[in-house]
């Protein structure tokens, strides 16, 4: 019985110690979402104006690689590698926001359960002010965690549409510029692309 009580006390101490990192993590998460939202808004404005999009930067890299290419036999391999690198960068940009979607609710739940344990302990000792403070912390942390996750999810929906459209256009532009550089007729490919867009 004493062993069980000791283990419960040990777990309670671990839970209490984790409260500060969880609350600090939520504060950092909110700050990160605010910073990411600023970048998201800037990218949205750039896309509306048609300036400095990932697609345009990729086309510039592609043009520079084609102009500096000396080995035409392996040119298609080099272009494929450049395309895969750009695609990987696009996917990594989604991983950042997906991290918040998953971690936000988890931190919010931890930030709720830990203060509730402290609150119950305070209730048993008759310390009502400490109990009230712990309950306030419990409810605010879950709200902050869920709010961060919802905002991140909404941004990820738009971001995923951008990424899918960019990847499709990157593949087309790579094929088109490669054919043009090698002197292969490009009219059928252009017609096929125009038909796909219509």
Nearest to 154 by CA among 74, 100, 80, 77: 100
The reported pTM is 0.74
Domain assignment present for residue 2? The answer is no
pLDDT score of 143 more than 80: yes
Range of the domain at 148: 14-183
Count Cβ atoms below 10 Å from residue 134 Cβ, excluding itself. Answer: 21
Specify if 191 maps to a domain. no
In the chain, how many domains are there? Answer: 1
| Separation CA 1–CA 3 (nearest Å) | 5
| Residue 32 falls inside a structural domain | yes
Q: Is residue 134 part of a domain?
A: yes
Structure confidence at residue 73 (pLDDT) = 65
Q: Residue 183 above 70 pLDDT?
A: no
The pLDDT, as a whole number, for residue 184 is: 64
DSSP string, 66-88: HHH---STTHHHHHHHHHHHHHH
Average predicted confidence (pLDDT) for the chain: 81
| 4 domain-assigned | no
List pLDDT tens digits, range 22-52.
Answer: 889 999 999 999 999 998 998 888 888 877 6
User: From CA 100, how far away is CA 121, in angstroms rounded?
Assistant: 32
How would residue 186 be classed by pLDDT, with cut points 50, 70 and 90?
low
Structural domain contains residue 9: no
Of 50, 52, 24, 43, nearest in space to 155 by CA: 43
Asked if residue 28 belongs to a domain, the reply is: yes
* Maximum mean pLDDT: which of 98-102, 125-129, 132-136: 98-102
pLDDT, residue 173, reads 82
Q: Dihedral of CA 23/29/35/38: which sign?
A: negative
Q: How far apart are the first and last CA of the chain?
A: 74
DSSP state of 3: H
CA dihedral over 133, 139, 142, 146, signed as positive or negative:
negative
77 band by pLDDT with thresholds 50, 70 and 90: confident
Domain assignment of residue 49, yes or no: yes
Share of the chain above pLDDT 90, in %: 19
Q: How far apart are CA 142 and CA 148, in angstroms?
A: 10
Tokens 């004493």 identify what position? 2
């Amino acid at each position: 019985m004493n062993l069980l009580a000791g283990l419960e006390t040990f777990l309670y101490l671990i839970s209490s110690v984790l409260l500060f990192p969880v609350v600090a993590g939520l504060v950092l998460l909110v700050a990160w979402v605010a910073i990411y939202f600023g970048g998201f808004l800037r990218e949205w404005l750039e896309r509306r104006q048609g300036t400095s999009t990932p697609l345009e930067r990729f086309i510039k890299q592609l043009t520079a690689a084609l102009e500096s290419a000396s080995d035409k036999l392996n040119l298609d391999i080099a272009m494929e590698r450049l395309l895969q690198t750009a695609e990987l960068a696009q996917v990594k940009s989604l991983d950042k926001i997906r991290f918040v979607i998953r971690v936000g609710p988890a931190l919010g739940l931890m930030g709720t359960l830990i203060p509730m344990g402290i609150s119950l302990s305070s209730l048993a000792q008759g310390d009502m002010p400490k109990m009230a403070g712990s309950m306030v912390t419990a409810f605010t942390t879950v709200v902050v965690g869920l709010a961060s996750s919802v905002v991140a999810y909404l941004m990820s929906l738009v971001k995923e549409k951008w990424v899918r459209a960019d990847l499709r256009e990157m593949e087309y532009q790579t094929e088109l510029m490669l054919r043009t550089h090698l002197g292969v007729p490009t009219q059928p490919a252009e017609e096929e692309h125009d038909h796909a867009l219509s």
